[in-house]
Amino acid sequence: GLPALPARPLAVRRPSRRIQVGSVAVGGDAPVSVQSMTTTRTSDVGATLQQIAELTASGCQIVRVACPTQDDADALATIARKSQIPVIADIHFQPKYVFAAIDAGCAAVRVNPGNIKQFDDKVKEIAKAAGDAGTPIRIGVNAGSLDARLLRKYGKATPEALVESALWEASLFEEHGFRDIKISVKHNDPVVMVNAYRLLAARSDYPLHLGVTEAGPAFQGTIKSAVAFGALLSEGIGDTIRVSLSAPPAEEVKVGLQILEALNLKQRRLEIVSCPSCGRAQVDVYKLADQVSAGLDGLEVPLRVAVMGCVVNGPGEAREADLGVASGNGKGQIFVKGEVIKTVPESKIVETLIEEAMKIAEQMEET
């Protein structure tokens, strides 16, 4: 069968209470899940469901949709019913949409404490409605919309300010016996964000939704998120993650999944072990690695494929992998499970690797 998880994550998980976001458990010993958010108008049910289907296909486990208008609220029931993954309604200002989202069967609702005052006495009713329906609430604190009182107190969105805001809002729900909560304390600075989550993790047992907010375009956002999530998850902190990129949401999911795989929190799928190339290289390693990645894209089995530029480290790495090539003298030695199975001319390396990868993948899937 599939090789057992080599997963020895870096840390013991922080104990947290477990909540249920539709079919996906968050917190406790549930695997860390990956989520994203749609960019369509939620009121455009067809486009939104289409994007949710794409996100589902990319490995997204929970999806959030914005709900700024009545038309969006009206669309929630159909979206929640037809989505393949749990749908969370994201609501900033209007308590009536929180009730609408609960009635619509959304798997959870996200509210923002910067706007909690607008909820005033509605907190009790929200706690009651959410409690009756079994709908959890995410308290989403964001540096950009921190409560004015806390901004005055702390001068800016410090980790302490973010955490005080989150725990204060949680307490508003707790007063009414509602504890079906997960929390996020997002900031665009990974260092502030990491410190905020550490503080929050020490002060409560709620499951935590990690996010670096407004992380930026794909490259910068990927680095910021990987660094921040890596720091926290390697300390056992974090129960569900959302990478925020100024890029299509399926990209966020790809990055999120890779972060979890890199940390051994998720079984690794295709992994290309390729050398950086150097003055010894006897083939174009970049091109070879790109072509092999492209040829094997979408393969779901945990396959390690080594693409090495020369015979110095080549054979060693190629032997450690399920499959690999060590190039030299216009030829490639193809290794499968540590054995050289053939030597092919350079022009045949890519197709041979892909062919062999498919054979191994089939065997893995059969067993």
Encode 331-358: b = buried (16+ Cβ within 10 Å), e = exposed.
bbbbbbeeeeeeebebeebbebbbebbe
Q: Nearest approach, Cβ of 311 to ligand SF4 (angstroms)? A: 7
* Greatest alpha-carbon span in the chain: 76
Stretch that binds ligand SF4, among 107-115, 249-257, 311-319, 344-352 (CB under 6 A): 311-319
Q: Nearest approach, Cβ of 338 to ligand SF4 (angstroms)? A: 17
Of the residues 20, 267, 313, 343, which one makes contact with ligand SF4 according to CB under 6 A: 313
Stretch that binds ligand SF4, among 171-179, 259-267, 303-311, 333-341 (CB under 6 A): 303-311
Of the residues 190, 314, 324, 332, which one makes contact with ligand SF4 according to CB under 6 A: 314
**Two tokens at 42?**
């939620």
Q: Is 333 in the site for ligand SF4 (CB under 6 A)?
A: no
Q: Is 276 in the site for ligand SF4 (CB under 6 A)?
A: yes
Q: What residue number has its CB nearest to ligand SF4? A: 309
Q: Nearest approach, Cβ of 357 to ligand SF4 (angstroms)? A: 20
Q: Nearest approach, Cβ of 270 to ligand SF4 (angstroms)? A: 20
Q: Is 331 in the site for ligand SF4 (CB under 6 A)?
A: no
Which amino acid, residue 272?
I
Q: What is the DSSP letter of 90?
A: E
Contact 136, 19 (CB under 8 A): yes
Pairing of strands 19-21, 323-328: unpaired
Residue 317 marked ligand-binding: yes
Residue 67 marked ligand-binding: no
Pairing of strands 304-308, 323-328: parallel
Q: CA-CA distance, 85 to 362, in Å (whole number)?
A: 28
Of the residues 281, 296, 305, 325, which one makes contact with ligand SF4 according to CB under 6 A: 281
Q: Is 315 in the site for ligand SF4 (CB under 6 A)?
A: no
Residue 278 marked ligand-binding: yes
Pick the closer one to ligand SF4 by CB: 57 or 278: 278
Q: Is 312 in the site for ligand SF4 (CB under 6 A)?
A: yes
Pick the closer one to ligand SF4 by CB: 36 or 277: 277
Site track for ligand SF4 across 87-106, x = CB under 6 A: --------------------
Residue 356 marked ligand-binding: no
Q: Is 332 in the site for ligand SF4 (CB under 6 A)?
A: no
Pick the closer one to ligand SF4 by CB: 78 or 313: 313
Q: Is 280 in the site for ligand SF4 (CB under 6 A)?
A: yes
Instruction: Report in angstroms the alpha-carbon separations of 175 from 4, 122, 178, 180.
Output: 45, 13, 7, 13
Contact 62, 35 (CB under 8 A): yes
The residue among 249, 227, 225, 230 whose CA lies nearest residue 64 is 249
Q: CA-CA distance, 174 to 294, in Å (whole number)?
A: 50
Strand partners, 308: 326
Residue 219 CB-density burial (10 A; 0-12 exposed, 13-18 middle, 19+ buried): exposed
Q: Nearest approach, Cβ of 305 to ligand SF4 (angstroms)? A: 14
Q: Is 36 in the site for ligand SF4 (CB under 6 A)?
A: no
Q: Centre a 10 Å sphere on the Cβ of residue 367 and count the other Cβ atoms it contains.
A: 7
Return all residues near 109 (Cβ < 8 A) that are at least 6 apart: 88, 89, 91, 98, 101, 102, 130, 135, 136, 137, 138
Interface with ligand SF4 by CB under 6 A: which residues?
275-278, 280-281, 308-310, 312-314
